[in-house]
Structure 1
Amino acid sequence: MRLNLIAATSTIAIVLASSAYAVDINQAGAKQLEESLTKVVPESVAKDGFVTVKPAGTRYEIIYDFAKLLKKIEPGTFAITGLTPWSMFATPLETGLWSMEGNNSLNVSGNFKAPGQPKTDFTYAIDAFLFSGVFDPAISYFRSGDFSTKAVNFSSKTEAEEVSASFDGMKYKLTSSEGATAGTTNFATSGSASGFLEKISSREVPPVEIRADAIDFAAAVNGLPASKVRDIIMFAVDHADDKKLAVADSDKLKGMLRDAFPLLTSFNETIDFNNLTVSSAAGNGGAKNVNYAITLDGPTDATRFGVGVTAEQISFASAIVPAAYSAFVPHEFQLQFAIADMDFAAFGDEFLKVDFSGDTSSEDSGKKAAERLFKGGELVMDFPKISAVSGVYDAEFSGQIRGRIDTSKDYSMDATVLARDLDKTIAAVQELAKTNADLNQVSFGLMMAKGFAKTDPDGRQRWDISVARNGSVTINGQVIKGAD
């Protein structure tokens, strides 16, 4: 949601960079600004008056009539009511930057139908969307900004399913700084949303309600060549109606992409759900805190993409889980995994061989680019930590798996498994086996595993496991299985 709102306001402002406007506010300046703003929309829409600009005291008022933008869409495919114009105010500063601000609301309803899909009815309302910031024509983006929304509500409904979501309000801030490489910029945003509520119901699944007291988030992208990305977007708009690019235009696009590469040097995002609860007829659950994080970093020839999920103070109550098994439900969980050693430099080189003019070799070039992303077709997956803790177990896994993107049979693995109080876990399983004989095999397997374990200084038991590509398996240096 927050990124969509930032994108919307930045798209509206993006062509303020087309030329430098005088600090004096007049009709000539308004006309020049209006002509520049219409460059980012199809010519047919621009002629309909989608964008208008007029002097407003010491600033310009920019009005966007979104109904005119959508009126050419086939009514049988998409229909919307309640869409009113939005306005923002732009003040040219003597520094060459622009001061931007706006205060708008939204309350629309409608429906859409995708081919082969049922009709979907929707509503979308924002009591207020306020923003103020400083726009930099040199990078065609906000240098800084404060954004907030009040009372956001959304719903969608088909014959088989209904979804609604809302939150009381959201606040977030955007900042920027110069990147390490000339011509690049670092952007960061952070904020929070309060009173989140989502309801889901369908014919097949009982109603589900998801709540969170607050959602905190932060994101940062470094080394973005903002002005070059702007030029690529403008090129795409100019050629949006072309069925295929001319050879000269294809070469031009390749040159622009080559000049902009790499598109960034790193990216990271974190989202924290505070007091998350899930309620349904099947049971209730939740966690005091759930954290989600993604990262993309490293040199272009050895890039690493990582994902992490952590849940603390987990609770779960359901008739689906018998009381005797409740102790096995984890109250803490952590998952970290990453795809490592991706070669985006080689990917970019191969991708730019694609013929954007529509030659049949484009598909093959795209496939080769994907293959070169993984060096020699080698896929490397890291698992820095996977852990779970409950009343009867405390286990942790870490390791690395190497394989190939063209087969699931050729792989190797090096991993470490750690367990605390394994005797307690075995005893709990044996107790359950008194009423479920199938668990005797699990108990036997745990006791066998204990026989192979080593004991670490902190008392945890350790298994260092190695699976070679030839099929052999060793645990703590002992050969458990020979080569295939």
Structure 2
Amino acid sequence: MRLNAIVLVCAVVAGMAEPALSADITQQGADNLKRDLTRLLPKDAQKNGSIKVNPAGERYEIIYDLDKMLKTFGSHAGLSVSGLTPWSIFATPEDGGLWKLEGDNSLDVSGTIKAEGQSTTDFSYGIDSYVFNALFDPAISYLRSGDFSTKAIRLTSKTDKEEVKVTAANSTTKLTSSDNEQPGRTNFAASGSMTQLFESVSGTDMPLVEIRADALDFAAAVNGVAAKELREIVAFVIAHADDKKLKRADSEKLKSLLRDAFPLVTSLNETISFNNVTVSAKDGSGGAKSIDYNIAMAGPTNATRFDVGVAAQGITLDSALVPAAYSAFLPQSFSMQFSMPDMDFATFGDELLKMDFTKSKGSDEAGKKAFEKLFKDDNLVIGFPKISAVSSMYDVDVSGELRGHSTSQKDYSLDASILVRDFDKTITAIQDLAKTNPDLNQVSFGLMMAKGFAKTDADGRQRWDINVAKDGAVTINGQVVKGAD
């Protein structure tokens, strides 16, 4: 295992694990705090002044020398960075052993990445202002609450073939936490927004594309986090970062830590919404009033459900690539939801802990077995609770479930329901287009055949309940369309 930037950052956070015992601000207190912040870092980082702590009135000033920290974990031969300046964070001891953390910093760096066999990349990253006020709890080595804001974020990346620019005006984030009903576990929640997003992409092989959004809003929650156990795992990884392989005793220790931490979380959910999105390119423009994305995971460890969804409303497209006669068939709204129900993380974890961390060989096979256990002996189930598309010419809803195996593309079954409103209107529209495009006559004929299998629901929609059995047999609304293979 090699120490990298992510491990280094985790070390800084996990290192502040001692409670604020005294409100007296002293040099000895500063020295103790520095010791805690650097105790998990490499020895070079403890000596080269990457982190300094000084008394500052009624609080401590923690100075992170970002340039020295970058060099601590080993600067890549092909990486050069300029403009890194120290950041200051002020820490004030609070009642109950907590720390109040405050900061107001900025960032304006640029650099170059040269990788063998790849194009040189020039990049820059800047933030005019990054302000935060947070409450840190050493008992869980994480923030209990906090308010964060940024102004004028900008990022550029350029190679000899492509250039990307990203900017955002302002962002705000609010973090809260609470004790989980399970002792020793913590719930975290965050929400916030970012305004005036802009991205442009251009290159030698593609014309300029510009993407804009008035705002991005997000909300997320992670419940039942094993914060203390995660801190111990981070400490273990850092302590063994340079080990090529673990000793038997260390392997058992890691398994014990993982066992205590499992499950890492009991549930999670996240939603992201883009408002007033526009896309401009050489061949046309388009956009949507809103684009929403969500993920969620919940349920007992032996029957966990994972959901992901995306939806767009108020979709528009203005392009010469789409003839006017066909524009009415473009969806005005669209949504898609998928799920993976009944995942067995309990058995997955048990199987994973059978791995021998003292050996590198055989880990892929062990991981494959654990993956199969996750889906209960490789019985993979993918649900699609809702896939819908609406335009002035159609209104379609699809739902169902696909069952199979992750190791095979043949042995599967499908149950699906298709509901269509105003199906006759759709058929008529296709027939009108077929007058100028005869190729659509076949589409029209296929829709007429499908109508013959349809049932009519109480709300007037046409319904097709479709079953595809593992033996290849297909039925629609109970009628056999195809026999077994």
**Short-chain TM bin:** over 0.9
Counterpart for residue 258 of structure 2: 257
User: What displacement does 1:272 show?
Assistant: 0.5
Q: How is 1:348-363 mapped onto 2 (pairs within 5 angstroms)?
A: 348-363=349-364
Counterpart for residue 332 of structure 2: 331
User: What displacement does 1:75 show?
Assistant: 5.8
Instruction: Report % sequence identity.
Output: 59
Q: Which amino acid aligns with 1:65?
A: D
User: What displacement does 1:76 show?
Assistant: 3.5
SS of corresponding position for 1:376 = coil
SS of corresponding position for 1:221 = strand
SS of corresponding position for 2:68 = helix
Alpha-carbon spacing, 1:189–1:75, altered in 2? closer, same or farther (3 Å): closer
SS of corresponding position for 2:16 = helix
Counterpart for residue 54 of structure 1: 54
Q: How is 1:437-452 mapped onto 2 (pairs within 5 angstroms)?
A: 437-452=438-453
Q: Which amino acid aligns with 1:406?
A: T
Q: Which amino acid aligns with 1:390?
A: S
SS of corresponding position for 1:355 = coil
Counterpart for residue 27 of structure 1: 27
Residue 277 of structure 1 contacts residue 286 of structure 1 at CA under 8 Å; is this kept in 2? yes
Counterpart for residue 186 of structure 1: 187
Alpha-carbon spacing, 1:226–1:9, altered in 2? closer, same or farther (3 Å): same
Q: Which amino acid aligns with 2:242?
A: D
Residue 105 of structure 2 contacts residue 129 of structure 2 at CA under 8 Å; is this kept in 1? yes
Residue 19 of structure 2 contacts residue 139 of structure 2 at CA under 8 Å; is this kept in 1? no
User: What displacement does 1:240 show?
Assistant: 1.2
Counterpart for residue 70 of structure 1: 70
State the distance in 2 between where 1:248 and 1:43 align.
24
State the distance in 2 between where 1:358 and 1:114 align.
30
Are positions 1:204 and 2:205 aligned together? Answer: yes
TM-score (norm 2): 0.96
State the distance in 2 between where 1:275 and 1:456 align.
36
User: What displacement does 1:20 show?
Assistant: 4.5
Name the count of aligned residue pairs: 479
SS of corresponding position for 1:121 = strand
TM-score (norm 1): 0.96
Q: How is 1:452-471 mapped onto 2 (pairs within 5 angstroms)?
A: 452-471=453-472
What are the superposed Cα offsets for residues 216-268 of structure 1, whole Å, 9 maximum, x if unpaired?
00000000011110111111111111222222111111100000000000111
Alpha-carbon spacing, 1:410–1:352, altered in 2? closer, same or farther (3 Å): same
Counterpart for residue 17 of structure 2: 17
Counterpart for residue 153 of structure 1: 154
What are the superposed Cα offsets for residues 109-160 of structure 1, whole Å, 9 maximum, x if unpaired?
0011334322111000000100001111111111100000010000101111
Residue 200 of structure 1 contacts residue 207 of structure 1 at CA under 8 Å; is this kept in 2? yes
Counterpart for residue 430 of structure 1: 431
User: What displacement does 1:45 show?
Assistant: 2.2
Alpha-carbon spacing, 1:347–1:222, altered in 2? closer, same or farther (3 Å): same
Residue 10 of structure 1 contacts residue 142 of structure 1 at CA under 8 Å; is this kept in 2? no
Q: Which amino acid aligns with 2:49?
A: G
State the distance in 2 between where 1:67 and 1:355 align.
38
State the distance in 1 between where 2:405 and 2:155 align.
43
Counterpart for residue 400 of structure 1: 401
Counterpart for residue 174 of structure 2: 173
Q: Unpaired segments of 5 or more residues in structure 1?
A: 1-6
Q: Which amino acid aligns with 1:69?
A: M
State the distance in 2 between where 1:353 and 1:447 align.
57
Q: CA RMSD in A?
A: 1.6
Counterpart for residue 321 of structure 1: 322
Counterpart for residue 242 of structure 1: 243
Are positions 1:45 and 2:51 aligned together? Answer: no
Residue 387 of structure 2 contacts residue 397 of structure 2 at CA under 8 Å; is this kept in 1? yes
What are the superposed Cα offsets for residues 186-233 of structure 1, whole Å, 9 maximum, x if unpaired?
000000000100001122221110000010000000000111101111
State the distance in 2 between where 1:115 and 1:178 align.
49
State the distance in 2 between where 1:442 and 1:11 align.
61
Residue 129 of structure 1 contacts residue 147 of structure 1 at CA under 8 Å; is this kept in 2? yes
Residue 111 of structure 2 contacts residue 124 of structure 2 at CA under 8 Å; is this kept in 1? yes
Q: Which amino acid aligns with 1:60?
A: Y
Alpha-carbon spacing, 1:150–1:108, altered in 2? closer, same or farther (3 Å): same
State the distance in 1 between where 2:124 and 2:79 align.
13
Q: Which amino acid aligns with 1:52?
A: K
State the distance in 2 between where 1:206 and 1:458 align.
47
What are the superposed Cα offsets for residues 344-389 of structure 1, whole Å, 9 maximum, x if unpaired?
1111011111122224232221121111111121110010000000
State the distance in 2 between where 1:8 and 1:179 align.
29
Alpha-carbon spacing, 1:125–1:353, altered in 2? closer, same or farther (3 Å): same
State the distance in 2 between where 1:200 and 1:41 align.
39
State the distance in 1 between where 2:222 and 2:430 align.
47
SS of corresponding position for 1:367 = helix
Counterpart for residue 379 of structure 1: 380
Q: Which amino acid aligns with 1:170?
A: S
SS of corresponding position for 2:398 = strand
Alpha-carbon spacing, 1:88–1:238, altered in 2? closer, same or farther (3 Å): same
Alpha-carbon spacing, 1:358–1:44, altered in 2? closer, same or farther (3 Å): farther
Residue 381 of structure 2 contacts residue 403 of structure 2 at CA under 8 Å; is this kept in 1? yes
Residue 387 of structure 2 contacts residue 399 of structure 2 at CA under 8 Å; is this kept in 1? yes
Counterpart for residue 4 of structure 1: none
State the distance in 1 between where 2:11 and 2:394 align.
52
SS of corresponding position for 2:234 = helix
Residue 10 of structure 1 contacts residue 141 of structure 1 at CA under 8 Å; is this kept in 2? no
Residue 398 of structure 2 contacts residue 418 of structure 2 at CA under 8 Å; is this kept in 1? yes
